[in-house]
Amino acid sequence: MGRYVIEVMYDGTKFHGSQIQGDTPTVQLALNQTLQTLLRTPIPTVGASRTDEGVHALSNFYHFDLDIEPRADFVYKCNAILPDGIAVKQLLCAADPEFNTRFQAVRRQYRYRIYHYKNPFLVNQALFFPYKLDFDILRQTAEIIKEYEKFESFSKRNAQTKTYNCAIHQSEWQVVGEELHYLVTANRFLRGMVRGLVATQIHIARGKGTLNDFRKIIEARDCTKAFFNVAGHGLYLEHIVYPDGTFI
């Protein structure tokens, strides 16, 4: 029995989130159905990072077990079966038969994209936000985030987590062409956390609060104090890092 891992990318607007929810079209359901069709037996998968409806992924990982070695054309055949909104990038074999894509990831990176001028080619690919933002304030809020490790204020209610601690490695705003991007990297993220960080920073950068107010929101450890009102389709799970030697 071998533990295998597939790296996938997907357009989040084509699915109702990544995690399986019965017969609701999700990323995980599409993967499970594809593997079952290809291998002619039910193949349950476990995902590295849960993404909400509309959220895209340039890289996410799912592990599963097989008692046979996959054929060389495994990735090609998976992509031939999968719907258009998702693609398998590669197949990997875990060195540890107990490897878990979720719990053994050491770093995750997200990017939130905003554009200010109407562009039909960016619909559902970034957030259209035609309002003035103070970029200097955004830079300062991004720096403030790195000072903290408790982020309960940016976790949606009913999150199944034992701790709200996150180690933020990178938090910054970037001007990329005509877009504004928020890039954040951490060891883990809470449910809805990146959208909460983005929406709350935007609230402050529009002059609706001060930097001290931003600190108070973080320190309150109360999700009713933060804002989450930015669309999922502006958010991308970009990168997941595992320890060296994880894959054969």
User: Do residues 210 and 121 share a domain?
Assistant: yes
Chain mean position to CA 43: 23
* DSSP element (H, E) containing 217: helix 211-220
pLDDT attached to residue 159: 62
67 counts as catalytic: no
Residue 197: what are its φ and ψ, rounded to 5°?
Answer: -65, -45
State which of 103, 125, 147 marks the end of a domain. Answer: 103
Each residue's pLDDT tens digit, 139-157: 999 999 999 999 999 998 7
Question: Do 114 and 140 fall into the same domain?
Answer: yes
Q: Under 8 Å CB-to-CB from 75, ≥6 apart: which residues?
A: 6, 88, 89, 90, 91
pLDDT for res 160: 66
* pLDDT of 113 higher than 70: yes
Mean pLDDT of 99-115: 97
Inside any domain, residue 124 = yes
Token pair of 215, please? 């600190």
The pLDDT of residue 161: 76
Domain range for 96 is: 2-103
- Return d(Cα 136, Cα 147) in angstroms, integer: 18
Of 79, 103, 127, the position where a domain reaches its end is: 103
Question: Which CATH number does the domain housing residue 191 bear?
Answer: 3.30.70.660
Query: Taking the chain, what is the end-to-end CA distance rounded to the nearest angstrom?
Result: 15
pLDDT at 115: 98
Residue 139's Cβ-count burial label (10 Å; 0-12, 13-18, 19+) is middle
What CATH number did the domain enclosing 88 receive?
3.30.70.580
Query: Can you give the pLDDT at residue 162?
Result: 81
pTM of the model: 0.94
In a domain, 31, yes or no: yes
Task: Give how far Cα 49 sits from Cα of 72, 110, 180, Å.
Answer: 27, 11, 24
pLDDT confidence of residue 156 = 84
CA atoms within 13 A on the CB side of 192: 21
Pairwise CA distance, residues 226 & 118, whole Å: 28
Structure token pair of residue 199: 């929406």
Q: pLDDT digits over 39-85, tens only?
A: 999 999 999 999 999 999 999 999 999 998 899 999 999 999 999 99
229 and 116 share a domain?
yes
pLDDT for 157 equals 74
Query: Do 128 and 97 share a structural domain?
Result: no
From 52, 65, 96, 244, the catalytic residue: 52
For residue range 198-217, list pLDDT tens digits in order.
Answer: 999 999 999 999 999 999 99
